[in-house]
Amino acid sequence: MPTHLDFFAMNDDIIKYDASHNKTELTDLSCRERNKETTMDLIEMERTPVSRVERKRLQARARILEAAEELMRARGFDAVKIQDITDVADVGHGTFYTHFKTKMDVLVPIVRTKARQLTERLDELTRDMEDSADVVSISVRHMLTAIAKDPLWAWFLYKSDLPMDQIREASGESAKRDIQNGIETGRFIEHDEITLEPFLLGALAGVIRDKFETGLDQPVIENCAYILLLILGVEKEEARKLSCTPLPPLPTD
C-alpha cells in the first residue's frame, strides 16, 4: 500500500505573512499546538528516568526553541538576535551555546518538527489510498502548499547552503517507497534510482528557491506535481487531471 511522499513539511497552521516587513503572525491554533507539544515533551521526560541536571538541560533547550520560533515568526529571522532569544527563554548565553552553535542551528529542529507533523498527517491521509500516482500528487502538493504558508520554512530552504540535503534528510525513505510502490504495481515506469532521487530533489529545491520572492502559488504547485507525474510515466492527460484535483484536507488532531 502506498505511503506518503513527505519531502518537506510544516504544521498545517493558518499563517498571515507581510512580505514587505518579513513578519508572520501565528493564529491562536498554532500557539496552542506549540504549547501542547512542549507540554508533551516534558511529560515524556518525566516518564523516562533522567538525572536532575539532564532534565534541566532539556527544559532549557525546549524554552530556547519555543522562544526562538515565537520571535522569528513575529519579527523574521534576520531581525532576531541571540540576546532576544535568551531573554525570552530566560537563559544565559552560555546555556544557549551549550545547545546551539548559531542562530541557524536553532531553526533546524523547529523545521524538523514541522516536517514530522506533516509526515504524520500525510501518512494518515494516504494510508488507504491504492493509487501511487494519487499519493504522490497529493503529497507533493501538500508539501509545497505547507512551505508556501510558512515564510520561516521557505526562508530556511532559501538560505540553506545545501537545500537538497535538507529535503533528503526530511524525506527519509518515504519518497523512495512511494515511487517504488508505483513501479512495482506498474503505475510508474522504472528509473535508475541513483539518478532519479537527486534529479527530483534538485528540481523541487530549485523551484522553492526560485519562487522565494514571489511565492509558491497554486499554478506553480500544480505544475510541479504534473511534471513529477510525467517523469514517473503517467500519461499527460491523466497527470494534468491528478495534479489539479482538489486536495483532500489533512487530518487534524
| Residue 120 placed within a domain | no
According to DSSP, the residues that pair with 23 across neighbouring strands are 18
How far apart CA 125 and CA 122 sit, in angstroms, is 5
pLDDT score recorded for residue 13: 33
Share of residues in the chain with pLDDT > 90 (%): 48
pLDDT score recorded for residue 44: 55
Mean pLDDT of 157-180: 69
Shared domain for 133 and 82, answered yes or no, is no
pLDDT per residue as tens digits for the range 141-168 = 998 999 899 988 888 888 876 556 656 6
| Residue 38 placed within a domain | yes
Last residue of a domain, one of 100, 119, 147: 100
pLDDT score recorded for residue 133: 96
Shared domain for 140 and 183, answered yes or no, is yes
| Residue 123 placed within a domain | no
Highest mean pLDDT among 22-36, 99-113, 186-200, 221-235: 221-235
Decide which of 208 and 83 is more confident: 83
Query: pTM (2 decimals)?
Result: 0.77
Shared domain for 25 and 81, answered yes or no, is yes
Distance of CA 42 to the CA centre of its chain: 23
Which stretch of 16-25, 46-55, 226-235, 239-248 has the lowest confidence by average pLDDT? 16-25
Q: How far is CA 163 from CA 4, 86, 205, 218, in A?
A: 21, 28, 6, 22
pLDDT per residue as tens digits for the range 76-119 = 999 999 999 999 999 999 999 999 999 999 998 998 888 888 88
Shared domain for 76 and 171, answered yes or no, is no
Which stretch of 35-39, 126-130, 139-143, 233-237 has the lowest confidence by average pLDDT? 35-39
What is the number of structural domains in the chain?
2
How far apart CA 60 and CA 63 sit, in angstroms, is 5
Shared domain for 81 and 170, answered yes or no, is no
Shared domain for 145 and 226, answered yes or no, is yes
How far apart CA 152 and CA 115 sit, in angstroms, is 13
pLDDT per residue as tens digits for the range 110-140 = 988 888 888 888 888 988 899 999 999 999 9
- In this structure, what CATH number is given to the domain that contains residue 229? 1.10.357.10
Shared domain for 56 and 134, answered yes or no, is no
Confidence of residue 50 (pLDDT cuts 50, 70, 90): confident
pLDDT score recorded for residue 157: 83
Last residue of a domain, one of 80, 100, 120: 100
| Residue 48 placed within a domain | yes
Domain range holding 193? 128-244
Residue 42 has pLDDT above 80, yes or no: no
Confidence of residue 48 (pLDDT cuts 50, 70, 90): low
| Residue 75 placed within a domain | yes
pLDDT score recorded for residue 8: 41
| Residue 142 placed within a domain | yes
